[in-house]
Copies of this chain bind each other. A is one copy, B any other.
Amino acid sequence: MSASWSTSLLTDMYELTMVEAALAHGTAHRRSVFELFGRRLPAARRFGVVAGTGRLLEALERFEFTKDDIDYLHNNKVVNEQTLEFLKDFKFQGNIWGYREGDVYFANSPLLTVEGTFAEACLLETMLLSVLNHDCAVASAASRMTIAAHGRPCLDMGARRTHERAGVSAARAAFIGGFVGTSDLEAGKRYGLPTIGTSAHSFTLLHETEEEAFKAQVDTLGPGTTLLVDTFDIPKGVETAVRVAREAGGELGAVRIDSGDLVAQAFKVRGQLDALGAKDTKITVTSDLDEYAIAALGAAPVDSYGVGTKLVTGSGIPTAALVYKLVEREGVEGYMEGVAKRSKSKSTIAGRKWAARAFDEDGYAVEERLYVGNREDFKDAIVAGDEDELTLRPLQIKLVEEGNIDRTWYGPQALLRAAEYHQKVRNQLPYAAWRLSEGEPAVETRVVPLASAAKPN
């Protein structure tokens, strides 16, 4: 009844039955290339943020079918004996390329490219999509919020508004998007994130008076703590808070406001704090913040933002709508062939894509280019340079080589680098990327066929 250690069953059943059919038919071992991408940016977002790469590499290390898993599949007749034999020994032996965690992405950007046999690339589909669909959605929302915050710290307080394990991953994704701390202790423990916290209304209500509650908190946590001042009456709360901190021998660290008109309240509270001489006491606001509310608070005297619901639910876009599609596979004669489906409104572009971002002379991104063909031709194209004298930066790195995971790309250090990298690449986007309004992607995607493009099936 407890959660599996292995990640292999975090998988749609049809991945296994497809492998079963392909094994029986002799096509399971055909070399294949799958790409993970979004057909378009969701709901008029200007850019997406790549997050989850470190998590999926960790999950890949535990992607094995334990005896317990095999027993379940056997007892429930999910697949036949031949397939169970295959799964027992399964370990992904292929390659995975991907955008760097923290990078931005646009329509059709191949966030991941998985090379392997059909069977092994197929088995990873659900897990890869789950991790990236969630984490990219949260990181993309976080990035918009930190843009709106204009350098004021944003803090994740969303654990309670989402699935308990998703909250841990959301804290990590938010950090990539520029958040500087999280309330979630498991995220602190697991990913080395700074943890933060203030106090709840229940703590005030536990005590006979607000003053007693403030004293209890200040006596224990010191005057530098953050007191929640809106349980009863804000002006009275602020006055008490400042006084209690001073009685304890210091100046109050901060007050938190969690209700009412935050813009008006912030001005009033700042005025009151200043009048009381508490000029260094900061103001943190919470209460259903999203990027728009944060932007609206831009001119208000607020020092930091605590964000919950809208962060962990992707601010209206809880999933990044990424898909995982076969783009090339080995034909009967052993050559790779580009493949694509032609379903209405869901057609795909055949052939493996190599991505590069083109920058103008001022260093701003102007185009996302997807070169279709082999890697040698791609390298030649990059080295040859661009006819419009744009600078080209290849975007994909090798995350997994013949099943060996490059550990450079996960762990706390990789997470720090991803957050830094995101700041860097975001600064290279044109101004349109920073707009919160709905609109076109900040950077257009262009598909460029190379001479070596796999012949279409």
A6 to B59 alpha-carbon distance, docked (Å): 19
CB of A13 within 8 A of CB of B201, answer no
Give A205's nearest chain B residue, CB to CB.
B339
A438 to B9 alpha-carbon distance, docked (Å): 37
Closest Cβ of chain B: how far from A376's Cβ, in Å? 25
Give the residues in chain B near A125, CB-CB below 8 Å. 160, 200
Contact of A159 among B10, B190, B220, B344 (CB under 8 A): B10
Closest Cβ of chain B: how far from A13's Cβ, in Å? 4
Number of this chain's copies in the assembly equals: 2
A34 to B206 alpha-carbon distance, docked (Å): 11
Interface flags for A189-217 (1: CB within 8 Å of B; 0: not) read 11000011111111111111000100111
Instruction: Please provide the chain A residues from 77 to 126 with a CB less than 8 Å away from any CB of chain B in the complex.
Output: 78, 80, 118, 122, 125-126
Q: Does A382 contact B (CB under 8 A)?
A: no
CB of A199 within 8 A of CB of B133, answer no
Most buried by B among A127, A260, A318: A318
Give the residues in chain B near A2, CB-CB below 8 Å. 58, 62, 190
A287 to B321 alpha-carbon distance, docked (Å): 12
Given contacts A126-B159, A130-B163, A159-B126, contact A411 B1 (CB under 8 A): yes
Instruction: Please provide the chain A residues from 141 to 168 with a CB less than 8 Å away from any CB of chain B in the complex.
Output: 157, 159-168
Give the residues in chain B near A127, CB-CB below 8 Å. 164
Contact of A346 among B15, B27, B259, B346 (CB under 8 A): B259
Q: Does A169 contact B (CB under 8 A)?
A: yes
Q: Does A408 contact B (CB under 8 A)?
A: no
CB of B12 within 8 A of CB of A184, answer yes
Interface flags for A296-336 (1: CB within 8 Å of B; 0: not) read 00000000000001001110001101001110010110000
CB of B325 within 8 A of CB of A201, answer yes
Binds B, one of A17-25, A269-277, A392-400, A439-447: A17-25
A272 to B197 alpha-carbon distance, docked (Å): 62
Q: Does A290 contact B (CB under 8 A)?
A: no
Give the residues in chain B near A233, CB-CB below 8 Å. 342
Interface flags for A52-75 (1: CB within 8 Å of B; 0: not) read 000000110010000001001100
A216 to B168 alpha-carbon distance, docked (Å): 41
Contact of A185 among B12, B163, B164 (CB under 8 A): B12
Give A229's nearest chain B residue, CB to CB.
B343
Give A347's nearest chain B residue, CB to CB.
B259
CB of A168 within 8 A of CB of B10, answer yes
Give the residues in chain B near A62, CB-CB below 8 Å. 2
A168 to B185 alpha-carbon distance, docked (Å): 22
CB of A220 within 8 A of CB of B10, answer no
A25 to B14 alpha-carbon distance, docked (Å): 57
Closest Cβ of chain B: how far from A60's Cβ, in Å? 12
Closest Cβ of chain B: how far from A421's Cβ, in Å? 21
**Could you pull out 5 A-B pairs where Cβ atoms are within 8 angstroms?**
A11-B184, A13-B183, A17-B221, A125-B160, A125-B200
The 5 closest A-B pairs by CB, nearest first: A14-B197, A25-B216, A13-B197, A163-B166, A259-B343
